[in-house]
A and B are shown apart, each in its own frame.
Chain A
Amino acid sequence: MASLADTHTPGAHGHSSLQHQFDTMEQQKESSTLGMWVFLVTEIMFFGGLFLAYVAYRTRYPEAFAAASHTLDVTMGAVNTAVLICSSLTMALAIWCAQTNRRKGIVLFLLLTILLGAVFLGVKAVEYADKFEHHHVPGASFQFHTEGGHTGAEDPNLAQHTQLFFSLYFVMTGLHATHMIIGIAILGFLAFYAWRGRYDREYHNPLEMTGLYWHFVDIVWIFLFPLLYLLGAHAS
């Protein structure tokens, strides 16, 4: 009994990608899909803790949060939102190529997705650098100068409380960016395997699963963008 090697033993239905514990390709696919959705549920709960902290402090210090939010660059955030939505489209197109047996198309669209993800991270890096320049990074050198309109009359510790906003900003976007980096790494592997011709109409589970993950990361940003960038925008 080769307990080590039997993972890739072809099952009853013969496809080389059928793992030994499954009876059919369909069962294998259903299982990985369900597994991915359960994983995404854990991701929702993971980010949920941060969203809870955000809600708690935004409710407590609305002025400071609005003031801090004003310093973020809405244009860059909006561009990044568009970039991410496009990357979700290219991800979906890569899967469509697999479903229709367009092997070169899979590689092309995966690479495009990676490119768009990299653009997003690049813009994010520019924004982070800007925070460092303006001393908006929480810690010893944190400074916040209140602008006109925010006299600090209602919240005498406004400058200090903006630090909470930036703390959450960095933790939330940082965690999101970490997910992007992991996603890009996975996409790199997928592109390599797709180039080697591993995926076709019958078997492209990894593409679909990564697609779910990528769309999820995209959706997290769809929530982060208004919560962080568009806060109190009507007041200015």
Chain B
Amino acid sequence: MNTHAAAEPLVTPGPETAFERPNYLNAAYGLRSWLLTRDHKRIGILYLISISVFFAIGSLFAFLMRLELLTPEGDLVQPDTYNRLFTMHGVTMVFFFLIPSIPAVLGNFLVPLMIGARDLAFPKLNLASWYVYNLGAIFTLWAIVNGGVDTGWTFYTPFSTSFSNTHVVSTALGVFITGFSSIFTGLNFIVTIHRMRAPGMTWFRLPLFIWSHYATSVIIVLGTPVIAITILMVAAERLLHLGIFDPKLGGDPILFQHLFWFYSHPAVYIMILPAMGVISELVAAFARKPIFGYKFVAFASMAIAVLGFLVWGHHMFVSGQSIYAGTVFSILSMLVAIPSAVKVFNWTATLYEGSISYQTPMLYALGFIGLFTLGGLTGVMLATLGIDVHVHDTYFIVAHFHYIMVGGAIMAYLGGMHYWWPKISGRLYPGFLSKLSALLVFVGFNLTFFPQFILGYLGMPRRYWAYPPEFQVLNVLSTAGASILGVGFALPLFYFIWSMRYGKRSGDNPWGAVGLEWDTTSPPPTENFYTMPVVTHGPYEYNREEVHNRMTEEKTLG
């Protein structure tokens, strides 16, 4: 921990000898050493590559949709094509990018490092999860290449089972198979966090990143099997005409909605909880303070995991469910706002009187807090029965969940990638470009999605390829924002790859952060630690004296 004083990564090259040390990257070479690896760090990198491909594919669909919506007339693509575009955008982004993003990349890499373990409990299962993910991806890619699906990512019955003429079964099978990869990851995390913690690493010394991954894993393990069986029923229904969801045969399409949202609402928390874990780490590290109300933030994660399973009916307010069910689901949905707000308040309280440095990861983290708050508050609006009926199936919904999933989950994912990239690669990325990317993402995001709140409130329905001319101005703004957002997302891809070869060496701990992952070398050795750590204190011991030292250091540098 001799590099604590380093604050500005651009001026603090690590000791040149750092790279000569054996680490997980130079432990073995060749494709085989990657494809057969059981090292959680390498598997994290494999996942990074896979999900980046799917992020690019999903973004392409979004790009085409925004282009179509530039003009009110449906002039770029056929309505049928548009249906496929938004479906494939949703399927790839939700199941193949957002759900695995933080857990499978950053979680895989960091969970053993943060708790002081040599690896996850089941390394082979971990590798298997990556292969299973790709197997599912192949099914879905096959469907995409052959013309896609038009059911919406929600696969609502009876359209998906009886009427759609597109590749529902192969897409559904892809989602089904990929579900097992999340189950494997979640199971691995639960066992690892329970059984593999270093001596002295008690539950309340765990970093909040670990708490949020634990909560996420619980949701994955309880929820994913339900979507699996649901998708299996859809496929069986479609292939064999069983009648389970077919009203003609006595089946009930609404049963599908219940089963689907029983998973897919908690799935939102699978996406956002790991993001919250990342933000807790970033806020503490760049405000140089312990997280305010550590236990509240930790238990808030668990509370969200539990409450998340009780709110699925708020997706079905207009499905004809009873008004009593609607009322209960409405109240329960509002309850989720409490633990979420606890987190936001505690991050804010952590910032108060903190010694804040606006490094790239922190810019993303601050962006997250603002955008998540907006997404969360509109969520409370939508939990209100009256408002929901008014804006149901409009762009207001689209804007709301993109504030959570893009403004929340992706901002945190990028913030986390920027924070731990020196740990992952041992290299620094360009400071100016990365700050520019954070700014572009923030500005581009708001320009894309804030107009959609207004569009939705004015009544523009989602999932149409054309719209009345009076909505054009806001749609043009939205498309313009999407192009800025695209540049913001593309930049990190380039400079991360660039930095692997040309980036300055980062040293072990370029941020002067605390946490077991920063106690080991960058990149870490295959076994993670040279001497296995013994933990004697909590996760965020940023003390006053150190802050003072760092600030004087900054002055001399500046």
Contacts and interface: CB of A to CB of B under 8 A. Distances in A.
Where chain B touches its partner, the secondary structure class is: helix
Interface stretch (B48-56, B113-121, B390-398, B539-547): B113-121
Contacts of B192: 31
Given A3-B37, A38-B221, A56 B252 contact: yes
Interface centre among A21, A138, A161 (most CB of B within 10 A): A21
B360 to A, nearest CB: 31
Interface stretch (B241-249, B279-287, B478-486): B241-249
Contacts of B232: 171
B195 interface: yes
B196 interface: yes
Interface centre among B124, B228, B250, B251 (most CB of A within 10 A): B250
Interface centre among A20, A22, A31, A47 (most CB of B within 10 A): A31
A167 B238 CA distance: 13
A19 B120 CA distance: 11
A53 interface: yes
Contact of B243 (A2, A47, A164): A164
Nearest to A161: B250
A235 interface: no
B123 interface: yes
B230 A21 contact: no
Interface string B91-124: 0000000000000000000001000011111111
Give the contact-size bracket for chain A: 35 or more
A32 B196 CA distance: 12
B191 A43 contact: no
B305 to A, nearest CB: 14
A168 B244 contact: yes
A80 interface: no
Interface in A9-45: 19-22, 27, 30-32, 34-35, 38-39, 41-45
A46 B225 contact: yes
Given A34-B190, A138-B242, A49 B252 contact: no
Given A49-B226, A49-B230, A56-B252, A20 B236 contact: no
A31 B36 CA distance: 23
A52 B230 CA distance: 11
Given A35-B187, A46-B226, A171-B242, A53 B121 contact: no
A97 to B, nearest CB: 26
Contact of A164 (B223, B240, B250, B527): B250
Interface in A129-158: 138-140, 157
A218 to B, nearest CB: 19
Nearest to B194: A34
B98 to A, nearest CB: 21
B39 interface: yes
A160 interface: yes
A52 B22 CA distance: 53
A1 B250 contact: no
B236 A171 contact: yes
A149 B255 CA distance: 31
Interface in B14-71: 22, 24, 27-28, 33, 36-39, 42
A57 B244 CA distance: 9
Where chain A touches its partner, the secondary structure class is: helix
A3 B27 contact: yes
A126 interface: no
A30 B190 CA distance: 13
Contacts of A170: 242
A163 interface: yes
Contacts of A47: 229
A48 B226 contact: yes
Contacts of A140: 241
Interface in A153-198: 157, 160-161, 163-164, 167-168, 170-171
A86 interface: no
A1 B226 contact: no
Interface centre among B28, B121, B232 (most CB of A within 10 A): B121
Contacts of A48: 225-226, 229
A21 B121 contact: yes
A138 B229 contact: no
20 contacts: A3-B38, A3-B42, A7-B123, A21-B119, A21-B123, A22-B121, A27-B195, A31-B122, A34-B195, A35-B121, A35-B188, A46-B225, A50-B229, A50-B233, A57-B250, A57-B252, A61-B250, A138-B242, A160-B243, A164-B249
Given A21-B123, A49-B228, A60-B250, 20 more contacts: A3-B28, A3-B33, A3-B42, A4-B28, A20-B118, A21-B112, A21-B118, A21-B196, A30-B195, A35-B121, A35-B122, A38-B187, A41-B221, A42-B221, A45-B223, A46-B226, A49-B259, A53-B255, A160-B250, A163-B243
